[in-house]
Amino acid sequence: MTPESAARRPGRRPGSADTRGEILAAARRVFAEKGFDKATVRGIAREAKVDPALVHHYFDTKEGMFAAAMRLPVTPHQVIPLLLEGPREEIGERLVRFILRATSAPETREPMVALIRSAMTNEQAATMFREFISNALLYQVADRLEVPHLRVEAAFAQMFGMVMARHVIKLEPMASATPDELVELLAPTVQRYFAG
């Protein structure tokens, strides 16, 4: 997605750009206030002053709305099928390549880094991030693959640390390493956690 396409909204449905934007702005306020778990589609519709059916028209799930509101490049609906499809012994490589791809362009990486920054400096944002990451992402992945939650969190910690070291702390040589170098190094780690 280019910054242009993210800025321009569909445009074919006059007025809908604003409605979608207003729903997302309402979602950001409700998620920040209530956290991910306690926020509801109904509550977000009320905050946006629209019918809940309209919220469902734009967003299938609360997870999808959260990802759109926070402009996250990594959503449960992408990650879960990615991990389930294809050989189980290549899960580590698929996940590492996906995370590297999702974080390679600044326009997809920056919203995620912004969310992490607020989670690290603000208790409410930390709660929202923790609930989303665990209930909507990590526990789903763990349960579908029948892997203990702690092992999936160890894989998350490795990926989280890599993205921070590469793009925020900008440690060299990690910041300039090629995707293939990082896959060679990190995929066996992730594979081991998922095989456990």
Interface residues with a copy of itself (CB under 8 A) are 116-117, 119-121, 126, 129-130, 133-134, 138, 149-151, 153-154, 156-162, 164-165, 168-174, 177, 181, 185-186, 188-189, 192-193, 196
Q: Return d(Cα 196, Cα 111) in angstroms, integer.
A: 32
Q: Is the CB of 108 or the CB of 135 nearer to a copy of itself?
A: 135
Q: Is the CB of 88 or the CB of 149 nearer to a copy of itself?
A: 149
Q: How far is the CB of 39 from a copy of itself (least distance, A)?
A: 18
Q: Is the CB of 68 or the CB of 177 nearer to a copy of itself?
A: 177
Q: Is the CB of 24 or the CB of 95 nearer to a copy of itself?
A: 95
Q: Kindly state the greatest CA–CA separation across the chain.
A: 52
CA angle 142, 74, 176 (to 5 degrees): 110
Q: How far is the CB of 25 from a copy of itself (least distance, A)?
A: 24
Token pair of 76, please?
């449960």
Question: What angle do helix axes 106-121 and 91-102 make, rounded to 10 degrees?
Answer: 90
Q: How far is the CB of 48 from a copy of itself (least distance, A)?
A: 28
Q: How far is the CB of 149 from a copy of itself (least distance, A)?
A: 6
Q: Return d(Cα 132, Cα 40) in angstroms, integer.
A: 13
Q: Is the CB of 54 or the CB of 182 nearer to a copy of itself?
A: 182
Q: Return d(Cα 60, Cα 154) in angstroms, integer.
A: 30
Instruction: State whether the Cα torsion 190-2-171-137 is positive or negative.
Output: negative
**List of E strands, 52-178:** none
Q: How far is the CB of 150 from a copy of itself (least distance, A)?
A: 5
